[in-house]
Amino acid sequence: MTDQKKTKAQLIAELEEIRRYVSKLEQSEIERKRTQKELQENEKLLRKIAENLPNSYLSIIEKDLTVGFTSGQEFKNQNLDPEQFIGLTLEQVFGDKTNVVREHYQKTFHGKEQYFELFQNNQYQKYFTVPLRAENGTIPRILAVVENITERKRAEETLRKSEEKFRSMFENMQSGFALHEMVFDEAGKPIDYIFLDMNEAFEEQTSLKRENLIGRRVTEALPGIENDPADWIGTYGKVVLTGISVSFENYAESLNRLYSVVAYRPIEGQFATIFMDITERMQAEEVLRESEAQYRLLYESIPVGVGLVDQHGNFLSFNDMVLIPGGYDRDDIFEIGNVSNLYADPSQREDVLEIFQKQGFVDKHEVGFKRKDGTTYDAVISLTPIQIKGDFCIQALVEDITDRKQAEQALQEAHDTLEERVTERTEDLQKMVNLMAGREVRMAELKKAIKQLRTQLGEAGLEPVTDDPLIPAEDGY
């Protein structure tokens, strides 16, 4: 009886234990279904999140480092099916990059979030991994958020190269460059500016050192600049306030230099300047202006005509001595246009061109030019080729020799008259010489006859008269 009762009690206990076990199983099933439902909802949520992350995907990594779940927009971008990655190992997914990924995943399973980048399949990927903790504090899974940053990397590389190129240009440009930040007072008036950056040419153009300027105000670096008549602060302040770029030339009293400046606003509150020291250039230009003025004075006062024509003979410039011999004014010459229209005889123009082509120059060649009234005057011209701003031109020297030619003609006529008179006089003298020569012959014959007569008188015993004019005393007769 006791055994039967005991057996019954045991049966009741066992039944109660079975009931509790069934209840636990039912509760476990309910919990499993609830958990499964939560997992499904979480998976849906993860999938929805993943599909809305641009260029990204999410993965749940199991404790054995296999892929438990993965989804995201990046699979669609790459025309891949995320389901084919479920269950794959690290080696199957990452190949030779497995060790790098395993190291970061294992650190995540130890509770440490990880950030790292990976270059795989010609793409850059950025990984962010976080541990997924269970209620008991264990980490059965981790979440990996992966973003394709290839385009960004390429953009960064392009930007880096662009910055290097800009920096190289910045450092090697011949013009000075500087970046500044404008300083305003409480009323918004520009009162100062701070040096932010500058290139080496800035130092060369200003003789100021970078280390003494960066971060400093211009009123500290160049005391008194706020009183400079050029009003550098005010000018740059307008650029910052309006955004309108300016270009100008100004003298900097504090540097004793003249600068050509371009200023613009790259961003709000800042301005940049590109400038050149033009002090020596302006001094050279002043010397050139003085030289040109002296040349112009010489050009206009020289007593011969000086003209400049292009390679076709068209007038470019000339002094007044080109005008005077022909009675022209400047408008007349420009209306005539070409030097060939001044030649009285077109063949002379051809002769001049032939000489110029053969010799490369013409030296004092006589020609005839037309006056405004249609008459002709004589001139000698000399031609020299010159280059002006790369263009071939011809410089002509023209001298009016009309008076000289007339003087030469008058001299020739006087010479001819003198020659004629000399010839006539010579003929007269010759006649006189001939006449005198005849007289001497007759005198010699007379003297001979007288001498014979005296001899005869002497033989006859008669003495000649002592003062006989026909017998000079010096003759001894």
* Sequential pLDDT tens for the chain (477 residues): 445 555 777 777 777 777 777 777 777 667 666 666 665 666 666 666 666 677 888 889 999 999 998 888 888 888 889 899 999 999 999 999 999 999 999 999 999 999 999 998 889 999 999 999 988 899 999 999 999 999 888 888 888 887 777 666 666 777 889 999 999 999 999 999 999 999 888 998 898 999 999 999 999 999 999 999 999 999 999 999 999 999 999 888 888 889 999 999 999 999 999 998 888 877 777 777 776 766 666 666 677 888 888 888 898 888 888 888 888 888 888 888 898 888 989 899 899 899 998 998 998 888 988 988 889 888 888 988 988 878 888 888 888 888 888 888 888 887 788 778 777 777 777 777 676 666 666 677 777 777 777 776 677 666 655 555 555 544 444
Q: How far apart are CA 384 and CA 406, in angstroms?
A: 28
CATH number at residue 330: 3.30.450.20
In a domain, 296, yes or no: no
* DSSP helix/strand/coil, 140: coil
β-partners of residue 143 are: 60, 130
Tell me if 375 is assigned to some domain.
Answer: yes
Q: Within a 10 A sphere around the Cβ of 304, how many other Cβ atoms?
A: 14
> Are residues 383 and 469 part of one domain?
no
8 Å CB contact between 51 and 71: yes
- 226 and 323 share a domain? no
In a domain, 24, yes or no: no
Residue with tokens 């199983």: 25
> Would you tell me how many other CB atoms lie within 10 Å of the CB of residue 201?
21
Q: Would 65 be classed as within a structural domain?
A: yes
Among 282, 311, 340, the domain boundary falls at 282
| Domain identity same for 145 and 176 | no
- Residue at 1 is within a domain: no
**For residue 28, what are its two tokens?**
């476990």
DSSP type of residue 468: -
Q: How many helices (DSSP H) and strands (DSSP E) are in the chain? A: 13, 15
Same domain flag for 377 and 428: no
How many structural domains are present in the chain?
Answer: 4
Cβ atoms of 315 and 325 within 8 Å: the answer is no
User: Do 144 and 172 belong together in one domain?
Assistant: no
Domain that residue 345 falls in: 303-400
Q: Do the domain assignments include residue 190?
A: yes
Residue 87 counted as domain residue = yes
The answer to the question of residue 163 being in a domain is no
Domain boundary residue among 282, 312, 342?
A: 282
Residue 145, strand partner residues = 58, 128
Task: Select from 282, 314, 329 the last residue of a domain.
Answer: 282
Q: Are residues 41 and 119 in the same domain?
A: yes
User: How many CA atoms lie less than 13 Å away from 277 in the CB half-sphere?
Assistant: 14
Residue closest to 84 by CA, chosen among 101, 67, 62: 67
Burial category of 98 from C-beta neighbours within 10 Å (exposed 0-12, middle 13-18, buried 19 and up): middle
| Among 45, 50, 57, 49, residue whose Cα is nearest residue 149 | 57
C-beta of residue 274 within 8 angstroms of C-beta of residue 201: no
